Amino acid sequence: MDAETSSAWRCERIVRLPPHHPPIPPRKIGVLLVNLGTPDDASPKAVQRYLAEFLSDKRVVEIPSLLWQPILRGIVLTTRPKKSAHAYRLVWRDDGSPLAAITRAQAAALKHAFGPDVVVDWAMRYGKPAIADRLAAMQSAGCDRILIAPLYPQYCAATTATANDKAFAALAGMRWQPAVRTLPPYHDDPAYIEALASSVRASLAALDFEPQALIASFHGMPQRTLELGDPYHCHCQKTARLLGAALGKDTIVTFQSRFGRAKWLEPATDKTLAALPEQGIKRVAVVAPGFSADCLETLEELDIRGRETFRAAGGTDFAYLPCLNDSADSITMLTTIMSRELAGWTGAQ
């Protein structure tokens, strides 16, 4: 906005508005943290609602609707919710789903990070709080410039792009749109790698055993998405390489959470954990650098089931190292990478 327009804005607030003119709130900047989404509670009904929305997203399941919807409605949504609800119950907290509670805490910790003119809020791609609702609330609070920040370090169409799509779909219904920026992937950002390395170092130092291997487990994706040009696999590999270099340790990269029958990225985390003890690796630590917050996939799949798999295969010591979550290192890192995207907006009111 040029100086003239900007001073016209200021005048609007000083000069009396004509009758029936909508009120003009003071101008603000918004930062909207976005994560995947989670059920409202750990009941099969709530999980079914969540999965129906999530797995109907064409960015997530890239099978033509005519083929996929009958499978989703007839098989997946009649069988999976009960099993997944059981898993959710194992990790559910007093303040709700871990993913929602931690994302909320991240937003709270960032509240004052960018100065008094910046409003920080959070939303979920699926379920609540809805992206459209939070964008509308930001607009009502006077935000005419908004940074949409999908909290995925590694770009993936099934996560980053669909979060942005949803935000743009909300903008499509607005007469007066805010200016919008989106947070780029930060898989190789020195601030992210250093935060991860510092967190892993602290977690390793607190263990009562010395792991023989550090596994970096990322959420899987269908192999086909790599062939179609999704950079996710490369981003994961680069994060792990840089993390290993920062720690002075090799990492074993694996992919978890396989869904459906198609071939997914390999090696699989569960198969690797089952195979390592036979190769003489009986003490491991597992970190999940692709998750900005602990969630079902880390707390249940890795910390509970992964541990069981490893022990059942003859492993003796297993440590799950927590995600960055709302730790001080995480908030410093998020402040660094987001402040960069706010350049030219903040400090130029």
Ligand X SMILES: C=CC1=C(C)c2cc3[nH]c(cc4nc(cc5[nH]c(cc1n2)c(C)c5CCC(=O)O)C(CCC(=O)O)=C4C)c(C)c3C=C
Residues that bind ligand X (CB under 6 A): 36, 38, 51, 60-61, 80, 84, 97, 99, 152, 156, 158-159, 219, 221-222, 257, 259, 290-291, 295-297
C-alpha distances (whole Å) from 8 to each of 12, 14, 21, 103, 116 are 6, 10, 16, 37, 22
Half-sphere exposure of 330 (CA within 13 A, CB side): 23
Q: In the complex, what is the shortest distance from the CB of residue 19 to ligand X, in angstroms, rounded to a whole number?
A: 49
| Phi, psi values for residue 125, rounded to 5° | -65, -40
297 is in an annotated binding site: yes
Look up tokens 């949803």; give the residue.
166
DSSP annotation string for 19-48: TTPPP-PPPEEEEEEEEEE--SSSSHHHHH
Residue 259 partner contact from ligand X, Fe ion, none using kind-dependent CB cut-offs of 5 to 8 Å: ligand X
Q: In the complex, what is the shortest distance from the CB of residue 321 to ligand X, in angstroms, rounded to a whole number?
A: 16
Cβ proximity to ligand X: between 158 and 197 the closer is 158
**Tokens, residue 262:** 């198609």
Q: In whole angstroms, what is the distance from residue 19 CA to residue 81 CA?
A: 54
Q: In the complex, what is the shortest distance from the CB of residue 147 to ligand X, in angstroms, rounded to a whole number?
A: 20
Cβ proximity to Fe ion: between 199 and 257 the closer is 257
Element (H, E) at 312: helix 307-312
Q: In the complex, what is the shortest distance from the CB of residue 157 to ligand X, in angstroms, rounded to a whole number?
A: 9
Which residues in the 218-237 window bind Fe ion by CB under 5 A? none
Q: In the complex, what is the shortest distance from the CB of residue 70 to Fe ion, in angstroms, rounded to a whole number?
A: 22
Residue 320's Cβ-count burial label (10 Å; 0-12, 13-18, 19+) is: buried
Residue 319 partner contact from Fe ion, ligand X, none using kind-dependent CB cut-offs of 5 to 8 Å: none
Residue 254 in contact with Fe ion, rule: CB under 5 A? no
300 is in an annotated binding site: no
**Residue of the chain from 297, 325, 326, 345 that contacts Fe ion (CB under 5 A):** 297
Q: Which residues are annotated as a binding site for Fe(2+)?
A: 219, 297
